[in-house]
Structure 1
Amino acid sequence: MTTTNWGELTHAYGSAEDIPGLFAQLGGPEDDKVWSELWSALCHQGSVYEASWAAMPVLADIALGRAPGEPIQAVLMAGLITADPDDTRREQYAREIGELLVVARGLLTAPGSRDFVYLQMAVLAFEGAGVWAEALEGVTREEYDLECPECEDCLYVAFGSYGTFTSAGDYVGSGAKNTEARGDLTPTPPERLTGIGARLHREAVAAGQGEVALALTYVFGRAHCPSCDAEFSVSDEVERQWV
């Protein structure tokens, strides 16, 4: 931190001169409050700033226990920052990204983590694994908002507490009972998953994350559009449409 002129950098609220003071407060009784302020400043609504990247060495130190603070918070924040498509910054902080990746992989194997999907996202971000470093968040929301690749109708692909289906309209509000506007959502059997889907499912099973594992079979399954009855791969459309 002593080599960074934080006053010349910016975050969500302007000058980043307050960031060293916030990091210095970690390890005390108000860590939750401090992390909340750091998240708000450095990753406001998922945005990344020049001060966010400058924080990578500090986050790596926290993750590895070289500085006070909660390692999982450091890993998750660094993962979100690293998901930002900036090859120059990735190269600049390659050492820190490598260190954080080792820690993230270790945390991923801990059973019962409430942040499991976000840890998967962090690992993918550190690896530079593409859209799933961000798009996997749909698993936590239990839905994806996609366009039908044939008729271009807006669809919700749902795989959670409301059931498993595709919907051409609001399935939570006033139109929730309109099942005629729904299509089938078919999971891929775990033994038939391939590529990134197989890997993510395998990680979830190994960590005892049964609900996540089940959701992934639908995310990497097939959907029917209720408007035109076209069948499509959910994951292919997520990758194609993710912005």
Structure 2
Amino acid sequence: MVNWARMYDCHGDIDRVPELLARVEREDDAEAWDELGYRLVLERDLVFPASFAALPRLASRSARARGLAGTIVRCAAGGHGCDDLLAGCADAIAEFRELLDRHLRSRPDDYFATFLDLLAAEEQYHWSAVLGDFSDDFYQVACPHCAAEVTIAIGDYGRYSAIRDWHLGDVDRRGLRPASPEGLSGVGRWMHETAVRDGEVVLANGIAHLFGHAECPRCASVFNIADEYASSNRPVM
């Protein structure tokens, strides 16, 4: 049983969120959903005790509830000071992962947003925060050998590593070396297999490049793109 007397929301109130949850559980009230959203997530970035207290009641409901639950989970890596409450949501998040995976299998219109929510539910917060749909994606990584800042482009315009010059653009481009499906492991393999399973060809191809290798234009060394990005951007939990 949640002690709502301790579960303040974004505005410091302790009684409004349970009232709103009861209201949306009775009926699909758009006004109540809107208020619930801005009380549980501050500017799509910060979450509060009431956010995690509400999560079990959001994780298996309507599409609107699923979206709000996903936003909360994607904020879980931030400095919210509610680690004990997040740990208490483990069962709800596990249920939420299954719900999201079932939704992806249906190939919905909101596939990519759901994919990002699933990454967060799998605690892949750094990928959930930056992964694009590979139409216009750039990632900045430091070469592990010479420390040069390398721009990685994966999109309709090309798939390459380069040194970014703010006057000349991306210079000294080198083609990326995508990973083969057999060469993928860990989260990269899971992401790729999920996209392939669901017929998301562009997403799967982009993931293969992201988890493949790049050549540094400065020193010509070759490195794994995802490993270098994750080592610098994976949050410390």
Q: Does residue 1:72 correspond to 2:70, yes or no?
A: no
Structure 2 residue 188 is matched with structure 1 residue 197: yes
TM-score (norm 1): 0.76
Counterparts in 2 of 1:126 and 1:158: CA distance versus 1, 3 Å: same
Deviations 1:44-99 (A, max 9, x none): 34333223222213313xx335xxx6243144224314445865333312232232
Is the Cα contact below 8 Å between 1:156 and 1:168 reproduced in 2? yes
Supply the distance in 2 between the matched residues of 1:228 and 1:72 (Cα, whole angstroms).
46
Instruction: Indicate if the aligned counterparts of 1:139 and 1:216 stay in contact, CA closer than 8 A.
Output: no
Q: 1:3 to 1:80 in 2, by over 3 A?
A: same
Query: CA-to-partner distance for each residue in 1:72-129, whole Å, 9 max, x for gaps?
Result: 314422431444586533331223223212211211212144343x43343344344x
C-alpha contact (below 8 Å) 1:204/1:213 kept by paired residues: yes
Cα distance in 2, alignment partners of residues 111 and 125 from structure 1:
19
Match of 1:108 in 2: 104
Measured in 2, the distance between the counterparts of 1:142 and 1:218 equals: 11
Matched, 1:158 2:153: yes
- Give the conservation status (yes or no) of the 8 Å contact 1:52–1:81: no
Shift of 1:18: 4.5
In structure 1, the gaps of 5 or more residues are none
What do the CA deviations read for 1:160-187 (whole angstroms, capped 9, x no partner)?
13311122215xx6433x533x333211
Match of 1:240 among 227, 231, 235: 231
Structure 2 unaligned regions, length at least 5 = none
Match of 2:147, SS? coil
Give secondary structure in 2 for the equivalent of 1:55: helix
1:97 paired residue number: 93
1:55 maps to which residue?
54
Match of 2:130 in 1: 138
Q: 1:51 to 1:43 in 2, by over 3 A?
A: same
CA distance in 2, matches of 1:3, 1:215: 45
1:90 and 1:3 mapped to 2: Cα distance? 15
TM-score by length of 2: 0.77
Q: Structure 1 CA distance, aligned partners of 2:174 and 2:14?
A: 49
Q: Identity of aligned pairs, percent?
A: 24
Q: Considering only aligned residues, what root-mean-square deviation do their CA atoms show, in Å?
A: 3.2
Contact 1:139 1:215 in 2 (8 A): no
How many residues align? The count is 226
Deviation at 1:38, TM superposition (A): 1.2
When residues 218 and 196 of structure 1 are mapped into structure 2, their CA distance, relative to the original with a 3 A threshold, is: same
- After superposition, residues 143-222 of structure 1 pair within 5 angstroms as 143-169=138-164, 174-176=167-169, 178-180=170-172, 182-222=173-213
**C-alpha displacement of 1:146:** 1.5
Instruction: Tell me whether 148-157 or 220-229 shows the greater mean CA deviation.
Output: 148-157
1:220 and 1:234 in contact (8 A); partners too: yes
Distance 2:225 2:28 in 1: 43
Residues 88 and 112 of structure 1: CA distance in aligned 2, closer, same or farther (over 3 Å) = same
